[in-house]
Amino acid sequence: MKRFWLVLLSLGLVMAFSASVFAVDVKFSGEYFVGGMYLDKTTVMKDTATDGPSTALYYQRMRLKTEFVVAPGLSLVTRADIMERAWGAARSTPGTAADTNSAGTAAENENIAFDYLYVTYASPIGVFGVGYQPNGTWATVFANSETPLPKITYALPIGDFTLLLQMGKGADQSRTAKYASPYSDADYDVYYLMGMYKFKQGVAGLGLFGLRNKTTKPLGYEAQVFLIEPYFQAQFGPVKVQAEVDYATGKQRKYESGGSDINYDSWAGWIDATATFGPIYFGGTFAYVGGDDPATTDKNEGYWTGGMDFNPCLLLWNYDRYYWAGTMPGYGAATNSGPMTNAFFYQGRVGVKPSDKLDIMASLSYANADKKPTGYSDAYGWEIDVTGTYKITNNLSYMLGVGYLMTGDYYKAGTAGVSVRDNYIVVNKLTLTF
């Protein structure tokens, strides 16, 4: 009997001293927000039977990131969006199409949808990542749309310089047990080569991207896009400056035989500066997103958008407003939906931080179209926004914003005898980070 207890005690001590081998350190982070929105009109049409009603709603989302640290330098990372829904609103019809900027469907996001799942390994020769990872976040916030993408990534720091290589799969139409594809090569593949250099005042980088989309192979053509994206961000005394230039070339449609190819030749970019003097700051933004010229049927100049992450106003091209309240259409095909497209954009702003907890900012913006259909005006309009953010605690903040759009004649869509109305929005949001 003594031997039995001695053996049992010995095994217990072995397990106790070996516990670190089996342990996994788990780290949680994320945010939860509740927002409220009142939109005066859901269209900008005036004196018609299709004038939009007002809308008012509350909405929420919890975003949870979990990192399982298996060993120093080796982790498994996940991220899920939970109960992303408007309070009490009708649920989405279950389907298979992924929701915007998500790996899950809209119905899954209203319950729980995992967007990221990848392993990261910091090896002696660089940092590797494999799995569903963040994508579309290169350079500045302009033209960025953070979305999940399954890919293999590699980063190699060399002093102040970092080299990044990535290969991803945008879509796969190979034959599987669940998809009886008749094609052997009808996928969407992406390849990235990026470099960043850190200097005393900031960072500069250059991204080269190749995208090959053969999901349209059944239609007899494919797309081949090559993107060039240089940028820099720097702080010079009280002035913070950031700028980015984006160029797209290649083929929107490259036919295997017959047909007329359509080329890409598209530019976008922005420059933004903010000067801070004590509690007061001033800023200005110029952004350009090329529009497609209707006169050049063999060329597409409108590849770029401002991106889902770039929200310079509360009404014009605000992706949150679009996601929760829908498009804000005018007449014909003129709509104010999600990311900025086909625009020259100008903004001036001024802000004050009377304390560490409070930030009040006012901006005046104007936008006009780069390219427009025959008969259209190019004026999107003027917008005035005022926002205030109060930091209740280190992890809890409250934002209140009011935006007023003086709607331009672009939304008349060249239609005679019609009118457009101004519009306004009131939005607030309580955000908890952890």
**Under 8 Å between Cβ of 347 and 312:** yes
Tokens at 312, concatenated: 């310079």
The CB density around residue 204, as the number of other CB atoms within 10 Å, is 17
Domain formed by 23-433, architecture:
Beta Barrel (2.40)
Backbone CA torsion sign across 285, 289, 293, 294: negative
What percent of the chain lies above the pLDDT cut of 90? 87
The secondary element (H helix, E strand) that includes residue 196 is: strand 188-199
Mean pLDDT score, 373-387: 96
Q: Where are the domains of the chain?
A: 23-433
Looking up tokens 């009118």 gives 419
* Residue count of the chain: 434
**Under 8 Å between Cβ of 128 and 120:** yes
Which pLDDT tens digit goes with each residue over 314-368? 999 999 999 999 999 999 999 998 899 999 999 999 999 999 999 999 999 999 9
Q: Which is it for strands 202-213 and 188-199: parallel, antiparallel or unpaired?
A: antiparallel
DSSP state of 22: H
* Full DSSP string of 370-388: SS--TT---EEEEEEEEEE
Which pLDDT tens digit goes with each residue over 208-245? 999 999 999 889 999 999 999 999 999 999 999 999 99
- Distance between start and end Cα atoms, the chain: 52
The CB density around residue 69, as the number of other CB atoms within 10 Å, is 15
Residue 148 to residue 103: CA distance in whole angstroms: 6
Which pLDDT tens digit goes with each residue over 392-419? 999 999 999 999 999 999 999 999 999 9
